[in-house]
Amino acid sequence: MARQSVSPQITTNILEFVKTNQMRAGDHLPCQMLADTFRVSRAPVNAALKKLEQMGIVRGEPNRGYFLKVDAANVDTVKPEATPEGEDEDPLYFRIAEDRLAGKLQERVSENELIRLYDVARTRLLKTLHRIAEEGWVERLPGNGWAFRETLTSRRSYEEGYVFRAVIEQQAMLLPSFVADEVAFQKARAVQTALGEGGYETWSRAEIFKANNDFHEMIVACSQNEFFLDSIKRINRLRRLIEYRITIDRSRLPRQSAEHLHILDLLEAGRRTEAAAFLYTHIMGASRIKAPQV
């Protein structure tokens, strides 16, 4: 069991190693060298390399080891932890989320209360709470207490959040300070292409939310206005919890990704006003699809 918990992290470490060293397709990835680099045994490294082989990033050759199949520049288009929905979901996470949305959990709770309520070990609880804290809807208090932050909990507040996003993101794109970030655009294009060409079938809800969240925050960041960006980050943090509650219609994700790519096309062509109008329609269209489920 220990090896299974380590190998996903080693998979990510190998990809970071490849990118940091700007490796090229055909370069050798010696197992022992990687084990020494990450200070682990060969077993988790081998498990990680086999996972990367299944993903088409490396190829294994008998008696020779593993070799990179793609250049480092193309590594970001692949999701190392992409798994069919449900396989990587944490039941405790969603129980806490549902109870918080339903008002069953007070704003402030202690670890002992949660342990009794969910009948889990403290280490198990803390793992989930730290994940929630990283997402921004709970924070640790001195001692063993935790405080839930404000979040969107009703259909009305959810719809209002979408209207806010549509207006802010559109106006951010029209600011005189807006400058297209070519590097960020290239990365966003790779992620959205991967999502639309098959990732929508295998990525988890968290990965899909992050991919699309990052896209919109990247667009606003191009405005070079920290107030606009802080506002969007805050509303995205507030809606994260309720987004996970909504059933994903995966069949619409290729169209959503195509619309994101169209926005990039318009911006790269210098048609910023047209891109802003399309972005507003894109966001409000998503609201009409999702809001009825809240």
Q: Give pLDDT, residue 1.
A: 33
Q: Give pLDDT, residue 19.
A: 84
Of 45-49, 186-190, 206-210, give the range with the top mean pLDDT. 186-190
pLDDT tens track for 4-23: 344 566 787 788 888 878 88
Q: Give pLDDT, residue 220.
A: 96
Residue type, 94: F
Q: Mean pLDDT across the stretch 286-294?
A: 66
Q: Give pLDDT, residue 108.
A: 93
Q: Give pLDDT, residue 89.
A: 58
Q: Is the pLDDT of residue 271 over 90?
A: yes
Q: Give pLDDT, residue 277.
A: 96
Q: Mean pLDDT across the stretch 204-209?
A: 80
| pTM for this model (two decimals) | 0.59
At 146, is the pLDDT very low, low, confident or very high (cuts 50, 70, 90)?
very high
Please report, for residues 81, 126, 186, 278, the alpha-carbon distance to residue 193 in angstroms, rounded to integers and kept in the order given.
Answer: 17, 35, 11, 19
At 279, is the pLDDT very low, low, confident or very high (cuts 50, 70, 90)?
very high
Q: Give pLDDT, residue 99.
A: 86
Interatomic CA distance for residues 194 and 75, integer angstroms: 11
Q: Give pLDDT, residue 74.
A: 77
| Averaged pLDDT score across all residues of the chain | 83
CB 152 within 8 A of CB 238: yes
Q: Give pLDDT, residue 2.
A: 34
Of 288 and 122, the structure prediction assigns the larger pLDDT to 122
Of 287 and 58, the structure prediction assigns the larger pLDDT to 58
Q: Give pLDDT, residue 36.
A: 81
Q: Is the pLDDT of residue 106 over 70?
A: yes
CB 215 within 8 A of CB 191: yes
Diameter over CA atoms, the chain: 62
pLDDT tens track for 58-88: 888 888 889 998 888 777 645 444 443 443 4
Please report, for residues 73, 146, 259, the alpha-carbon distance to residue 196 in angstroms, rounded to integers and kept in the order given.
Answer: 20, 38, 10
At 176, is the pLDDT very low, low, confident or very high (cuts 50, 70, 90)?
very high
pLDDT tens track for 18-52: 887 888 889 999 988 888 887 777 777 888 888 88
